[in-house]
Structure formats: structure tokens, C-alpha cells
Chains A and B, each alone.
Chain A
């Protein structure tokens, strides 16, 4: 009995680690029960029939479990790549806006400086907003586009209102309307980016994939 059980444990090594971690103990218990139930009827043929059943079961189910495990891993890799792509895309937009703004200010390029304030808002709201959106998408089950809508509404509206009030108190010549407009531009821009991302994601999900 112990030898048979030990041998069965060795056979179980053929299954994926995750499957073994979850079901090995129970599979051994079931094997023990089957062995005990069959043992009284064991003769030469009975033993071979028992082990043939065990081997056939193993041959049929091991590839299946590995295949499913591989499918899970490739889905994980796909999600990882998608997340990395989204983060890199957002970081690239922020970096380009920042570099453009710095260059425009340094060289006093008027065509860039016209959009200077909007670029400023775009960078600030982009860094904070995208980080919050990424985390909320990962830890909640809400619609990602809805998360982006509310997050960018908050991260743009709060500084827009605060800066508009502060600037109007500090300097009577300041234009609070302009501050609001630049954050409104930033809101529309980032929401547009997330909307396009959602459309692309939906398109990918609905596209027929091979092997399904």
C-alpha cells in the first residue's frame, strides 16, 4: 500500500505545480480509497487493470492540465503587455508634453507657449490621473472608461478651481477663466485618450482569435 501510494505521488509530479498544490492531497486520498477497495480483489489481472486505469487517466489528463495552465500564463502575459503598453503610452505623452513645454519656455517659441498652460495642466493631471486610473482598474471591477471619466474630472477640476481662486486673490490681473480652460483641455484630451484605448480594447476582444 505505502509503495503504491509513494509511486502514485511520483506520478502526480507530471501535473502542473498549481494543480498539484490544489488537489494533490485529495487525489492521494482518493487513490488510497480506490486501492483499498480494489485490493481484496487483487490478483495478477486485477492489479494490472487497476494500474492501467490509473495510467490511462494520467495520460489523458496531464496534457489537458498543462494546456490549460499554459493558456492561463499566456493570458497573464497578454494582460501584462497590455498594461505595460498603456503605461508607456501615457508616460510618453507626458514626457513629450513636458519636453515641448521646457523647450518652448527656454527658447521662447511663441507657437508652443500659446499651448504652454494647457501642456502644464496636461502633464500635472496626466501623471496623477493615469496613476489613479491604473490602480483603480487593477483593484476594482468598475468600467475602466467610467473610472477614467471620474478620475480626470476630479484631478482636473480640483486644481482648476483652486488655482482660479488663488490666482484671482493673489493678482487681480490674472485670468481665472484661462486656468479653467487649460484644465478643461487637459480633461478632454485625457478622456479622449482613454476612450480611444477602450475602443481599441473592445475591438481586440471582439476580434476572432485562433484556436477558439
Chain B
């Protein structure tokens, strides 16, 4: 079965590495190494992206139009101009939100089964 690449739901579920890359880019444009650091930080070091995994995922995200190469860099004076920065597209944002909703539903199911405690209000 093929996935419908124009429908955010059609791209779910996302691979953990892809999900974390999109999550890292949701705060703003980042270059490859910054994405790696952000992912390692988000996951408490559980997911450490290697260069091959990172750029393989970036290649697929670019081709699916979830991210684009950013034209301008956040701080040109402080940065190596050879670095490429990546930006989350509107479609990428929709896919990320859809994945977060999907995960939230899973969490709700797990809470219903008392596998994890319900959050206190």
C-alpha cells in the first residue's frame, strides 16, 4: 500500500528520528549539528543521530516537502556560511501536529489502562 504524501495523516506514523528532527525544527531554523544536539537533548541522549541517519532523514523530509532549506541564517556573522539551515514548512508543521495528536491518543489509551498515571490538573 502506498502512502498519500499530500495528506498529513498519510505520512503517519513517523519514525522516531524524523519526529524528533521535526520537533527540533519547530522552534526555528537549525543546521545539521544543531538538530543533532537538540534531538539528543530532547530525548535525554536516548536518540543520538549519526551523520548518515540525519542527512538521510533530511533528504527524505526535503523530498516530501516537510522541510525546506532556509534562505537566510539566524546569525550570519557568528556562523560558518557553508552550513545549510533547514526550516519546517506549513505542511511539515501539520504533519508534526498530526503525529503529536496520534501520540497523545496513545498516551490517553495507556492512561485508561492505568499503565501510566493520569496528569494532575
Which residues of A approach B to under 8 Å, CB–CB?
Answer: 15, 19, 22-23, 25-27, 29-31, 33-34, 53-54, 56-58, 60-62, 64-65, 212
Chain B residues with a Cβ closer than 8 Å to the other chain, count: 20
Bound-state Cα–Cα, A62 to B55, Å: 11
Is B36 engaged at the interface, CB distance under 8 Å to the other chain?
yes
Given contacts A19-B56, A53-B50, 12 further A-B contacts (CB under 8 A): A19-B59, A23-B58, A23-B59, A26-B55, A26-B84, A29-B82, A29-B83, A34-B36, A53-B48, A54-B50, A62-B52, A65-B52
Closest chain A residue to B83, Cβ basis = A29
Contact B33 A60 (CB under 8 A): no
Q: Contacts A22-B59, A212-B1; is A27 near B48 (CB within 8 Å)?
A: no
The residue in chain B whose Cβ has the minimal distance to the Cβ of A23 is: B55
Question: Do residues B52 and A57 form an inter-chain contact, with CB atoms below 8 A?
Answer: yes
Number of A-B contacts (CB under 8 A): 58
CA distance A65 to B58 in the complex (A): 12
Chain B contact residues, CB within 8 Å of chain A:
1-2, 32-33, 36, 48-56, 58-59, 80, 82-84
- Which of B2, B36, B48 is A30 in contact with, Cβ under 8 Å? B36
Residues of A close to B50: CB separation below 8 A: 53-54, 56-58, 60-61
Label chain A's interface by main secondary structure: helix
Q: Note all chain A residues with C-beta closer than 8 A to B36.
A: 30, 34
User: Within 8 Å CB of A62, what residues of B?
Assistant: 52
